[in-house]
Amino acid sequence: MAGSSGLEEGMAPFSMAAVYAQSELVPVETSPLATEGGDVLRFGDTSPIDTLEKLDEAMAKMVESQTMFAEFTQEQVDHIFHQVALEANMMRLPLAQFAVQETKRGIVEDKVIKNHFASEFVYNKYKDVRTAGIIEEDVVAGLTRIAEPVGPVGGVTPVTNPTSTVIYYCLMALKTRNCIVISPHPAAAKCSYYTAEILRRAAVKLGAPPDCIRCIAAERSVSSAMLTHKDVAFLWATGGPGIVNACYRSGKPAIGVGAGNAPAMVDETCDMRDVAASIVLSKTFDNGMICASENAVVVVESAYEELRRCMEARGCYFMNEEETEKVGGAVINPEHHVSNLVVGKSALEIAELAGINVPDGTLVLVGEGSKVAVDEPMCYEKLCPVLGIFRAPSFKEGVTVAQQIATNGGLGHTSILYTDPKNVDRIAEFEKAMPTYKVLVDMPSSFGAIGDVYNFRLSPSMSLGCGSKGGSSVSENVGPQHLLNIKHIVERRENMQWFRTPARIYFKRGILAAALSDLKNDTKRCVVVTDKMMVKLGMVDNLKANLNALGIETTVFDDVTPDPTFSCIYAGVNTMKSFEPDTIIAFGGGSPMDAAKVMRLLYEHPEVTVNQLTARFMDIRKRVAMFPKLGSKVHTLICMPTTSGTGAEITPFAVLTGDDGRKYPICDYSMTPEMAIVDSTYTMKMPKSLTANTGYDALVHAIESFVSAYSTDYTQALSIRAIKLIMGNLKTAYDNPNDSVAREKMHNASAIAGMAFANAFLGICHSLAHQLGAEFHIPHGLANALMLSHVIRFNATDAPTKMATFSQYKFPMARKQYGEVSDHLKLTPFDAPLDAKVDALIERLEELKKEVGIPLSIREAGVSEELFEMKLGTIAAKAFDDQCTGANPRYPLIGELIQLLREAYEGPPRPIQGSSISGSMSMSFSNGNGKHESMESSNEEGQEEPSAV
């Protein structure tokens, strides 16, 4: 009955032996539906949802059903999916007949295959795919993925594949717990409604919500309103560019898949019988109405005659020029689109329409095209058994023609190459040139593109994405994954941490010869990287003598400068290229060791750029610029320090000065030395200022690594031990340079601190010191000493403006950790207030500076106020961008760094609770709103002091 919507709610649905309406193709059969309420679904019925008011009512009910459906379990969904797929499979023949009867297009037997494919192949592919609730749960990693439906979905279906597309849409919707409303093509409204309704009834019989599937009437006003209806959450359109673009313009999330104009390239290496059979099979399937079917063949000239002969033997009629012109005019309208009069018609019908005579049994009309141009009908999408053919002098020129055809209305869709499978170069050339997202090789395109027939990894689908080239949001075959929202439940997890040091660390006074004996069997040629002062002092001579005694050929590169530049590095690399060492020994202070690390890297991998070396990272394991593995030429890098401060003999760090004068910390564990020789014999001649500056540098390494956001139990133990050694021995080493015990303790402390910060990294004290050194040529250790107390004061808060971002760093801990350092040094009673402990630590550090002759301010270090203010903003910005900043426990704002520098220019920081560090000072930091709040401290009696910044 016209306008019937199917069963009344609560009625029992039909069985798998569904009732067909009487037609010339399908006989009426008896069904329980005929006796249960009298509501019999007949072919020819149209959807009752034919007004805007009825659309609103239907969508309101669908929203209720969607709420219900979203609660179904995977087991319920899979049961419905299976049984409805089976129902569609059983109805494959009548649905095909109804489609041809209504649309007057296509071939019943081929539409049977389409319906069968849309049910059986789709079910088989997705039957075990989880689409409801938890679809993935990784307890260890702390990640759970939960699938939720996107619906209700509005589905727009084409006239070319009406019933099979409705089957596919409905099965995908049911599998993903989406309710769907079908908007059919007007020329296929009846068969689309019939298909949707029998699938709805089958689903409801199995417990699905009553309005899980609906089909609206093909009324323009209703169809247009559906696209923008407030209750439609997601749109899915398969059809021409007009409807696809309308979906995307609706303002709703959408998937639109549209036109194809697939070229088939045929080269001379093919078996032409196979090619002809494949093309005819594909092009005649449902009279060419699969959008991926071949629309034009491009054949290499030398293969043309054989291909033509084979195609003619398979029922292809090659038209002459006049016939081609007539058929082209009938097939392609003046707007350069395929005419509705020919879509899905047979070759004989089209020939009659065009007014040409062809032999009985003709399956495909083939017309030769002269060029790919606007006025050439043979280069357009035709959706019927009319095929263009183009000759090409060579494979390369043929690929160009195929590319032009695909660009002419088939962007993103499908292209086909017929070649010998062994021609991998040709396959690659074709793929690269084609502007399509499906490139098929040696298969009938109509079947190959829909997936799972000629290749079982390509997912089966009646909706083929064209990607951004074709105006689609999807470039693959549409599947259930595109109809799901995935909720991610992410539990906090901490990354694996690490502790990495040189494989061999040798330490004790006078051990050089014993340590170098490791090289006896595997070292032939060695480059010593050092500076001219080490050579002048004769310290390199002893090293060379030991190497000579081992029979190792040695050369010395002594042009390392303080704060080595890239020019210095490349000079050393050139020495290595000519000498070809298998071992490098860095001998001296931090500069030779830093230089040797980078020289080795660039010697082994000259392709590495400066940008790669200096690129910053947040997590060393995930860096953008990955460092190559070392050891292919130099199997051993040995670092032997002659100062006690840098710790470079242990670490993966190097600091170089760029052409812009800026200091760049470079870090990667590939640069970690294979051996460190910590022999304090070579530190006995250090001048007092160098002893003070390098010793304070080691102290900063230890303190910053202790409070770093990356610190661990492993590193903190080393940090504390280094702090104790330095605080107990630096003044002695400074006052009594010949005190061998103090020198050895300082040398060990430097290496121990190196082990700590090699794994925990540093903080903003080093970030600022790098830039102070670069801009004002302040020695690195001195620059660190000038900033350390201010940085401690800045970090020592439980309520920072911003905190470091690292999974292991859960809350601000620096204030407490500075208190632990104070306790280890026994600076206050154990039960003293925490702020008093921090104050005591700062006071002791300032006293130490006085004891070893270090200035108390940047001003005292000789920087003029005018120059300082001129450089201040640049220093702060570069310090913020320094590699060390990310590990600081308090993530700084640039304005806060500016204030830190200003305070350090004047002198020591004010205490938190008031102490003898200073008389009266002020301190201000950004409050996070771009403003700075000033805090005055005073030692006047009765003046209350704030306890935190």
Catalytic residue positions?
291
Whether residue 901 contacts residue 875, with contact meaning beta carbons closer than 8 Å, is answered with yes
- How far is residue 201's CA from residue 213's CA, in Å, rounded to a whole number? 9
Tokens of 576: 């290595």
Q: Which residues contact 144 (CB under 8 A, 6 or more apart)?
A: 134, 136, 137, 138, 488, 489, 491
- How far is residue 859's CA from residue 862's CA, in Å, rounded to a whole number? 6
Which residue in 766, 747, 761, 765 sits closest to 691, CA to CA?
A: 747
Whether residue 581 contacts residue 527, with contact meaning beta carbons closer than 8 Å, is answered with yes
Whether residue 465 contacts residue 477, with contact meaning beta carbons closer than 8 Å, is answered with yes
Q: 568: how many CB neighbours lie within 10 A of its CB?
A: 21
Whether residue 807 contacts residue 692, with contact meaning beta carbons closer than 8 Å, is answered with no
Residue 295: strand, helix, or coil: strand
- How far is residue 112's CA from residue 96's CA, in Å, rounded to a whole number? 5
Q: Which residues contact 926 (CB under 8 A, 6 or more apart)?
A: 801, 893, 895, 896, 899, 932
Radius of gyration of the chain (CA): 40
Residue 289: strand, helix, or coil: coil
Which residue(s) pair with 761 in the sheet?
A: none
Tokens of 809: 């760093």
- How far is residue 229's CA from residue 521's CA, in Å, rounded to a whole number? 81
Q: 121: how many CB neighbours lie within 10 A of its CB?
A: 19
Exposed, middle or buried, 629 (CB in 10 Å: 0-12/13-18/19+)? exposed
Give the alpha-carbon dihedral of 862, 865, 868, 869, to 10 degrees.
180
For Cα atoms 637, 642, 643, give the angle at the middle one, nearest 5 degrees. 115
- How far is residue 823's CA from residue 800's CA, in Å, rounded to a whole number? 23
Q: 663: how many CB neighbours lie within 10 A of its CB?
A: 21
Tokens of 646: 């840098």
One DSSP character per residue, 527-587 reads EEE--HHHHHTTHHHHHHHHHHHTT-EEEEE--PPSS-BHHHHHHHHHHHHHH--SEEEEE
Residue 51: strand, helix, or coil: coil
Q: Which sign, positive or negative, has the C-alpha torsion 880, 886, 888, 889?
A: positive
Furthest CA-CA distance within the chain: 116
- How far is residue 192's CA from residue 194's CA, in Å, rounded to a whole number? 5
Give the C-alpha distances (Å, rounded to integers) separating 446 from 95, 275, 454, 480.
Answer: 20, 14, 10, 22
- How far is residue 311's CA from residue 274's CA, in Å, rounded to a whole number? 10
For Cα atoms 74, 79, 82, give the angle at the middle one, nearest 5 degrees. 120
The DSSP 8-state label assigned to residue 458 in this structure reads S
Q: Which sign, positive or negative, has the C-alpha torsion 907, 913, 919, 924?
A: positive
Which residue in 177, 186, 155 sits closest to 168, CA to CA?
A: 155
Residue 16: strand, helix, or coil: coil
For Cα atoms 60, 66, 72, give the angle at the middle one, nearest 5 degrees. 155
Give the alpha-carbon dihedral of 679, 680, 683, 685, to 10 degrees.
-110
